[in-house]
Amino acid sequence: MNVGDIGGKGPRDSVQDPAPIPGNGTVVVSIIDNAGSNSYNLNPVEVKVGETVTWVNDDSNIYTATSNDGIFNSDVLFEGQSFSYTFDEEGEYPYFCDIHPNMVGTVMVVTQDGEPEA
């Protein structure tokens, strides 16, 4: 696979492109190292329903952000590349790096008012 082959649309609301400047409703998670639960910075990350998480590879190694349940998968991210996913349902979304499975993180998605649904 060539580095140039990585961009484009992924499953659902995901996009993989060079690191964007986030706008309102976007939270950036930096991938910084192969250091277990400290590999993703912010971790855990909390967003509201309808908001987007953008993972940015800020390291020279390759990584992924892959949900445990298959809802999102960044594919391989090279240094400086990013992957975004918009969360449309409340819940807890654990994820890991497919290349380094010891790297783990969690996205917590809450309702717009910040409270769990009844």
pLDDT of res. 13: 46
Give the CA radius of gyration of the chain. Answer: 13
**Sequence ranges of the domains in the chain:** 3-110
What is the chain's pLDDT, residue by residue, as a tens digit (118 residues)?
Answer: 333 334 433 344 444 443 444 456 899 999 998 887 789 999 999 999 999 999 999 999 999 999 999 999 999 999 999 999 999 999 999 999 999 999 999 999 999 876 655 5
d(CA 102, CA 40): 11
Task: Name the one residue in this structure whose structure tokens are 């590879």.
Answer: 57
Write down the CATH superfamily of domain 3-110: Cupredoxins -  blue copper proteins (2.60.40.420)
Query: Considering the entire predicted model, what is its pTM?
Result: 0.76
d(CA 77, CA 83): 8
Angstrom CA distances, 30 to 64, 65, 111, 114, 116, stand at: 12, 11, 24, 23, 26
pLDDT of res. 112: 80
pLDDT of res. 94: 98
